[in-house]
């Protein structure tokens, strides 16, 4: 393969994923490691990519500086608290005792934690807020992957495969989102999407937790299609039109009453 063809292939892979680790690139592009490093150096020299430890990323992001695109956690936690509390309680009710689960970082998934103490779960999470909430629960085992701490969201993320999560297998992943619509589940930052896509592959069932304000909200990047979600948990202020397209996508809809949080109705 000519160098120009390799460079175009490398660019297309990075544009698709946002980030690429060198080992994964070596598996996908037919060239020697030394040749790939020279290709990456040339692309970085022209400003089309940015070399980072272990691989490369698109240049427009600033994730290597410890920042993520999106609303900081301390601001997001105060938005729609009653709705998020109702969604978190309903989602916790979907857990079975002793399960291995993944809990995505976010202000809505955090609301699950007070209701998990008696279940003896094995939890993998990237969120330091969730780690703190689960630590007082003696029967809950907590695992975190390796990576960089992003202070605004208080989460640990890695752009690469070797983050320690590859051996964890979950029956369920509880996922948050910046927005959700007919075109899919969305997040604002490509590094977050890269990390979450790997976690999606570690779970048998994907459960999306979003309060009703997240429907049709603006966001930049599609994490996954709506059809990839098995269950969506939201609050009872969800517009009927949104409920209809969720159900048409084959997604089970669980609606948690905001004014009466005693149970979720599905």
**Can you give the pLDDT at residue 62?**
42
Residue spans of the domains in the chain: they are: 3-60, 73-256
Fold of 73-256: Rossmann fold (3.40.50)
Interatomic CA distance for residues 108 and 86, integer angstroms: 9
Which tokens hold the place of 264? 């979720």
Asked if the 3-60 domain carries CATH number 3.60.15.10, the reply is no
pTM of the predicted model over 0.85:
no
b vs e for 233-257, b when ≥16 Cβ sit within 10 Å of the residue's Cβ? Answer: bbbebbeeebbeebeebebebbbbe
Which tokens hold the place of 113? 């934690």
**Can you give the pLDDT at residue 30?**
86
Per-residue pLDDT of the chain (266 residues; tens, 9 = 90+): 778 788 888 887 777 666 777 887 888 888 898 999 899 988 888 888 888 777 887 775 444 445 566 666 666 778 889 999 999 999 999 999 999 999 998 899 999 999 999 999 999 999 999 999 999 999 999 999 887 787 777 888 775 566 667 788 999 999 999 999 988 998 877 778 878 888 999 999 999 999 999 997 776 678 899 999 999 999 999 999 999 999 999 999 999 999 654 444 44
Within 10 angstroms of residue 70's Cβ, the number of other Cβ atoms is 17
CB 89 within 8 A of CB 66: no
**Can you give the pLDDT at residue 98?**
97
**Can you give the pLDDT at residue 8?**
82
CB 49 within 8 A of CB 37: no
């Amino acid at each position: 393969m000519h160098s120009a063809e390799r460079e175009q292939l490398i660019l297309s892979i990075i544009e698709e994923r946002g980030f690429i680790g060198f080992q994964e690139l070596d598996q996908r592009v037919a060239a020697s490691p030394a040749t790939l490093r020279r290709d990456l150096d040339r692309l970085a020299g022209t400003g089309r990519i940015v070399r980072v430890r272990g691989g490369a990323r698109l240049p427009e992001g600033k994730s290597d500086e410890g920042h993520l695109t999106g609303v900081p956690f301390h601001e997001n936690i105060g938005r729609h608290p009653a709705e998020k509390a109702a969604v978190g309680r309903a989602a916790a009710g979907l857990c079975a005792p002793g399960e291995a689960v993944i809990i995505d970082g976010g202000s809505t998934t955090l609301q699950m934690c007070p209701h998990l103490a008696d279940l003896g779960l094995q939890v993998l999470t990237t969120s330091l807020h969730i780690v703190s909430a689960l630590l007082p629960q003696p029967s809950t085992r907590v695992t975190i992957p390796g990576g960089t701490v992003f202070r605004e969201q208080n989460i640990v993320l890695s752009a690469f495969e070797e983050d320690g999560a590859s051996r964890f297998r979950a029956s369920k992943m509880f996922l948050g989102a910046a927005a959700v619509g007919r075109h899919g589940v969305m997040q604002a930052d490509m590094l977050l999407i890269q990390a979450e896509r790997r976690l999606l592959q570690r779970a048998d069932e994907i459960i999306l937790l979003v309060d009703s304000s997240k429907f049709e909200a603006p966001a930049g990047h599609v994490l996954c299609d709506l059809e990839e979600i098995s269950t969506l948990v939201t609050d009872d202020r969800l517009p009927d039109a949104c409920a209809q397209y969720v159900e048409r996508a084959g997604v089970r809809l669980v609606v948690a009453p905001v004014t009466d949080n005693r149970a979720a109705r599905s």
